[in-house]
Amino acid sequence: MPLSRKNVNNPTPVPPMDRGQAEELYQQIMPELGLEAKDESSRRTYHTFSVVRYRTPKVVKVLIVVLVLIMTLMMLIFPSPVTRISVNYADASEVLVNFNNGPLGFFNRVTALLNGIPVDLIHGDDRSYSVSLKKNGELSLISESPVGISDTQTVTIQGLDDVAPQVVRHLRDGDDIHIYFSDNDSGVDWDALSVTGADGEPVDFDVFPDEGYVSVRFPEDALTLHVPDKAGNALSVVVNLAG
């Protein structure tokens, strides 16, 4: 049946159709447009267009919903790995480790262990975290999903000075005693060194940083030496050479 001019100027949506209906409609439209139906390929093209035109939106919506469900399920089951790990040494006494849990880590529980012992996490923005450490060791950064599956990234911290100075030897020199110390990392903080007697009162002493020793009068009783290093570690040693 020929199409009226009203139908041509104000077309109504064509519902999904089978191959026969599409071909029939094709044969009606082409003469109205002053065109001649060419071949099977042209009719197949129109049929394909009519089907895709009216069915694609629904298919796309279904695919989007399925994709969102799959991504949500994956986030609930599999943890988002820890990424963007950076290790920043403030000095020999402290290191700051920064890391991120990734864009898919909304449901993850993040923890940090240093040599198996929990350490405090500092929460930042956008799933970012940091850990402040004062000791060397193996730092484990753990991301755990709600169902208990975890991903662990390990960082070795080995640039900190976490060892106090050590007594090397002592020598008597007349009425004085020389006590030698060493600290191979940050070095002995000679300005903060102190010596007290058995009564707890300060005792006079001299320091020789270049030679690495402290000189005190030969004690009649025990002496207590408090020897810190520049990283905050300290050695307290009791020296009793009397008698």
**152-171: pLDDT as tens digits:** 999 999 989 999 999 999 89
Q: Using 50, 70 and 90 to split pLDDT, how confident is the model at 105?
A: low
234 against 37, higher pLDDT: 234
Q: What one-character DSSP code corresponds to residue 221?
A: S
Q: Which residue has the tokens 């006079």?
A: 204
Q: How many CB atoms lie within 10 A of CB 13?
A: 7
Compute how many other C-beta atoms are within 10 angstroms of the C-beta atom of residue 34: 6
Task: Work out the burial of residue 30: count CB atoms within 10 Å of its CB; fewer than 13 is exposed, 13-18 middle, 19 or more buried.
Answer: middle
Model confidence over 69-90: pLDDT tens digits?
Answer: 776 666 556 666 788 899 999 8
* Structure confidence at residue 225 (pLDDT): 94
Q: Are 133 and 94 in contact (CB under 8 A)?
A: yes
Question: Burial of 185 by CB count in 10 Å (0-12 exposed, 13-18 middle, 19+ buried)?
Answer: middle
Average pLDDT, integer, range 213-233: 90
**Domains parsed from the chain with CATH numbers:** 5-77 (no CATH), 83-157 (2.60.40.10), 166-239 (2.60.40.10)
pLDDT higher than 50, residue 38:
yes
Checking if the pLDDT of 107 tops 70, the result is no
Q: Give the contacts of 167 (CB within 8 A, at least 6 positions apart).
A: 179, 180, 181, 235, 237
For residue 226, name the pLDDT band (cuts at 50, 70, 90): very high
At residue 147, the pLDDT reads: 77
- For the segment 101-110, the average pLDDT, to the nearest whole number, is 72
